[in-house]
Structures are given as structure tokens and as C-alpha cells.
Amino acid sequence: MTNENKSNGKSFYGKRNSKKRYVAYRKTNKKRPPKPPVPKESVRIAFLGGINEIGKNMTLYEYKNDMFIVDCGLAFPSADLPGVDLVIPDFSYVEANADRIKGIVITHGHEDHIGALAYLLKRVNVPVYATKLTIGLIKGKLEEHRLLSSVKLIEVKPKDNITLGSFNVEFIHVNHSIPDAVGLAIRCPAGVIIQTGDFKIDTTPVDGDMIDITRFAEYGKKGVLALLSDSTNAERPGFATSEKNVGDSFVNLFNMAKKKRIVVATFASNIHRIQQIVDVAKSRGRKVAVIGRSLENLVNVGCELGYLNIPEGVLIDIDLIKNYTDDKLVIITTGSQGEPMSALTKIAFDEHKKVSLTPNDFVIISATPIPGNEKMVSNVVNELMKHGVEVIYEKMYDVHVSGHACQEELKLMLGIVKPKYFIPVHGEQKHLQKHANLGIAMGIPKENIYVGNIGERIEISYDGIKPLSNVTAGEVYVDGIGVGDVGNIVLNDRKHLSKDGIIIVVATIDSSTGYTVSGPDIVSRGFVFVKENEALMNSARDLACRVIDESYDKNYRDWNSVKTRLRDEISKLMYEKTKRRPMVLPILMEI
């Protein structure tokens, strides 16, 4: 810079101290508006189901004296629960706070989210909020339990807001394997909590209505206290495939079937899948029949509410299939998971009254086995093949896509919601941990991620997550019409019986003399075949007679001690002779 320029007070940018530049400087240094104050309130969450397990989803929110519930689902019993029909959450904590519950919000109509609702409403009758199809499915369940007239069902739609005491809940449309699924934006003085429900990001959904990513992002910009997100597919990389791909696969498979009768097994609740099967069947001039109570119910509800479009004359009653040739039929059935009582299993084992298999059948299993069901599905496939049936079940045919978000979709949800705290839900421990690791990879501090367990109750505020005392939670077993009357003792007895069988010792004793006047008789069930083990049965009879004679005191009749010794001695003998421990049941009668 020259001396002349210096003396004129100029630089390359003009006058150093010009008024114009000073004004511009002031404009760029205006004080920013203060940030809104961080809420000091806290909200509490109790996990009553859906954590460290698949199914039985149920979450309770609490702010001061107000509570509401999200979902109320069931789980299907595993092999170690013999005789149990359904598994539902323990409602003890809800019942203890019944006067504080403002309502139940349902995210979608799958059994693991609505299946236990009728059992809860028998004990705590509060309003239920759900979308149109979900309400339709709930009505069917309440009608079975004779509750429909006494329960208040309130239909909502995406973008609706409801007020539940101190809470305001907004419904946000998401994609899933059933229509009318929603996520939730839960607002209260402590902040905003997003609960996704079950979701995936399907850019080409069958119903043409993509997940409302924009609304989730808007909440992310405003600030989200916590995100509770579906973890079911947290182990799977990439993106979940679009449901439309399955429709293309059905076109190819129907061509492969040629003149054969087509049987498709799928989840009863997958309306989109059913619609695509119907569409392809109609284009090939085939009639469609459905088998399975849950499937028939869904088709009726779907048609009534407009979620299924089945042209007149395409759907026929199962009793009429004998009137059509194989190349003019498609049968849609339940049993894609190999459930023992399902229609497909009965068909495979020749136990179904209306459908018999022939080598001219073409069976498509349009589902992936749920973890733990692989063996049951394999058994059904093997039985089907014994009939000479062609079975399509491999993943290479794209006959099933998941309704749950995979890793990239989960990361996208985390990225747009930007929660301060992250709580993985809806999955086993391996799913929750994997989802937590995705959160860490997305930049959420490890201390801001909470992997919970059933029965835990936490308090969340912008200051942190604080564990509170646990609440009563767990499993309640439904067996027939009995709810909760089957516990660990009964189940242990059933397992014992299933493994080693039972021996019943029956004897009649003369009360005046103490002598055995009848028996002891030995009855065996599920232990050994009596006719081939007479020596063993005679040894048991002699031992029982001796024990009764030695233990029975006519002056002091201690029945329990006699039965206990009988049980111990007979059990000892059987173990020595067979290395098995059957259940021993003594029955003593006094005359």
C-alpha cells in the first residue's frame, strides 16, 4: 500500500472507518434472540411389554397425575409353555392406577399391538383411540368378548391431535405391513417424545401413501426430548424392500404354476399382500377362496371399510372350490409360520375337512419364519412335499418383504428426529443393543441411550434419564377361558408330565383296622407300557403296600406324611430301574 493511500485513509476495501462500513458491521453483529428456555419438567415411562421380546407391546406414559397407554398386544406361546393359548402383559400397575388412565392409543392393528386389549378393557374401561382399519379389527375382538357396547372407540387419522390430560398426542402416518399404521408425537410440559410404532420407509407403497418423513423432520428441528423406535430389523443392513416387489414376484410365480391350483400362505393381517394376490388371480381368470378364521375376519373388515378392492365374483366360499378346476383356483390361507392349529398345517397333515392336497398343487409360503419358528415351518414344508406338491418358500423368489425398518431406515429416522435421548424398543436384547449401536454411530452420546427391560420405570427430563422403582410387569397366560390361572407351578407340572409321564397309586384303607382292603393299584400314563413292564409294576405295587402298612396310623391319620413317603419311595424305585422320574400321584381313600 502506497503512502498516498495511507494518507487518504484508504485500503483495498475502501475507507477503513467509513460510516457505511460501520453500519454494516453493526448489522452483522446484532444480538441473536435468546433460545427458548429448556423445560425443567420430567415425564415418566413404564415399559409393560415389547422390550427384550417380540410381541406383547405395551408402554405407559405418566406426567404428574395423568397417564395414558400406547398399544396393548399379545405374544404367542413358545414351545416351553405347553397348553397355553396366548401370553398377555401383566396389568397390575395399570389396574392400581385406573383412575389416572386417560386413554389407550393404538399404533396399528397387528396382534402384538391390539391382541390383549379386550383383556385389559374388562378391568380398566377407558377410551381407545385408533385409525379406521385398526378400529375395525378391534371391534371384532371386543364383540367376541361381549364388550363392544360398553367400550368407547374413537377413530382418528394421521395429523389428528388428541388431548389426554396433560398430554397432547399427534398421529403421524408411517408405512408398515398393514394399512393405517401411525407413529406418535407425544407432547407434554417436559418436552416432545416420538414413538415410531412399527414402521418402514417405503417409497413405493402399495396404497400410494408414503411415510410422513416431513412431519418427523419438523419435530426434529423444534427439538425432541426422546425417541422410542422400532428395533425388530436392527440387525439387517440396508433398506427394507418395497411391498410392490412382492406383487411382481406373484406375477412370475402364477406363470410358473401354469395349470396347477395355487395355495398361498401369508400373515392374516397383511392386507396389501392379499390385495396383490387377488389382483394377479383376477388377471389370470382365477377365483379366490380364503381359509382361516383370522384371515376371513380381516377380508370381511377390509372389504367393508374399503381397504380391500375385490371385484364381484372373484371371492368364493371355500365350500365351492369343488366346482372349479385347479387352474381356476387360488386359495389364500393362514399358517405361514407353521402354527400347529393353522389351516396350512392341517392341510399338510391331511387333517383339513375341506382341502386335500394333490401333486397338482402349487404352494407359496409368503412369509419369512419368525425367530424360533424355523423348525415348525420346515416340518410343514416337508409334509407338503411328501404329497408331491411344489413348494415355494425360498427367499430368492421374493415372496415376502418385511414391514419393519432396516439399519439405513433406522439411521435416517434418528438423523431427522435428532432426539436428545434414544430408547430402542420392540425387540429382543440383541435387536435393542444393535439399534443402540446405530444410535452411537449417528452421534448420540452413549449415556443418552437407554436400553430398558420389562417392568422398568424411568423419568426423563432435559437433565437426564433417571431409573425409578420397578413396577409389576411380566407375563400372564391365557389358557382356554382362564386368564392368569396357569402359573409356573402348573407349567412345571405340565413339562414334567410331558417328559416323564405319571404314575398314579390308588389304595383303599379300612379306617378301623388300618389294613389295605383294595389295591394298591398302579396306573401309568406316558411313562412305560404296562403290559410290557409287569415286573416293574408289581415291584411298585409291593413297595406301595409296604409303605402304607408301615406309615398308616389309625389313631393318628397323617395323610400327608403317608402320601409324601409313597411319592418318595416310588419315585426312587422308578429312577433306579429306568433312570426316569415320572410324576407320582398317590390317591388314598378311607372307608
Q: Mind listing the pLDDT tens digit for each residue in 448-473?
A: 999 999 999 999 999 999 999 999 99
Distance in angstroms (rounded) separating the CA atoms of residues 528 and 278: 52
- Quote the pLDDT of residue 147: 94
pLDDT band at 4 (very low <50, low <70, confident <90, very high): very low
pLDDT of 90 > 70? The answer is yes
Contact (CB, 8 A) for 206 and 241: no
Q: Would the pLDDT of 413 be above 60?
A: yes
Say if CB 512 and CB 533 are below 8 A apart: no
Confidence class for position 10, pLDDT limits 50, 70, 90:
very low
pLDDT score for 581: 86
Residue 185 has pLDDT above 90, yes or no: yes
Q: Which of 113, 176, 400, 404 is catalytic?
A: 404
Rounded-to-integer distance, Cα 103 and Cα 100, Å: 9
**Using CA atoms, how far apart are residues 226 and 347, in angstroms rounded to an integer?**
48
- pLDDT for the residue 20: 45
Q: Containing H/E element for 564?
A: helix 559-578
pLDDT at 394: 64
Contact assessment for residue 196 and residue 230, using Cβ atoms and an 8 Å cutoff: yes
Residue 493 pLDDT: 75
**What's residue 552's pLDDT?**
65
Taking alpha carbons only, the member of 135, 93, 190 closest to residue 466 is 190
Q: Specify whether the CB–CB gap between 94 and 101 falls below 8 A.
A: yes
Residues 288, 321: Cα–Cα separation, whole Å: 9
Phi, psi of 109 (to 5 degrees): -95, 20
pLDDT at 512 over 80: no
DSSP line for 383-409: HHHHTT-EEE--GGG-----SS--HHH
The active-site residue, picked from 112, 212, 230, 361, is 230
Whether residue 152 is predicted with pLDDT greater than 70 in this model: the reply is yes
pTM here is: 0.81
Q: Which of 47, 164, 49 is nearest to 104 (CA)?
A: 164
pLDDT of 579 over the 80 cut:
yes
Q: Does 108 qualify as catalytic in the annotation?
A: no
The pLDDT-based confidence of 523 (bands split at 50, 70, 90) is: confident
The number of angstroms, rounded, from the C-alpha of 551 to the middle of its chain's C-alpha atoms is 53
The single-letter code of the amino acid at 262 is I
Q: For strand 502-509 and strand 583-590, is the pairing parallel, antiparallel, or unpaired? A: parallel
Helix (H) or strand (E) holding 185: strand 182-188
302-355, pLDDT tens digit by residue? 999 999 999 999 999 999 999 999 999 999 998 877 777 788 889 999 888 899
For the stretch 355-382, pLDDT in tens is 999 999 999 988 877 666 678 888 889 9
Cβ density class 400-424: b for 16+ within 10 Å, e for less: bbbbbbbbebbbbbbebbbbbbbbb
Q: Do residues 542 and 519 lie in contact, with contact meaning Cβ atoms separated by under 8 Å?
A: no
Answer whether the bond into residue 520 is a cis peptide, omega within 30°.
yes
Which residue carries 385406573 as its cell? 98
Backbone dihedral region for residue 172 (phi beyond 0: left; psi -120 to 50: alpha; all else: beta): beta
Per-residue cell: 434: 444393535
pLDDT greater than 70 at residue 38: no
Mean pLDDT of the chain: 86
pLDDT at residue 16, as a whole number:
46
For the ranges 230-234, 401-405, 523-527, the maximum mean pLDDT occurs at 230-234
- Active-site residue flag, 160: no
Residue 409 in grid coordinates: 431406515
- For residue range 543-576, what is the model confidence (pLDDT) as tens digits? 888 888 777 665 556 777 888 888 888 889 888 8
Query: What is the tens place of the pLDDT at every residue in 223-264?
Result: 999 999 999 999 999 999 888 888 888 898 999 999 999 999
Cα 324 to its chain centre, rounded Å, is: 38
| Rounded-to-integer distance, Cα 54 and Cα 49, Å | 9
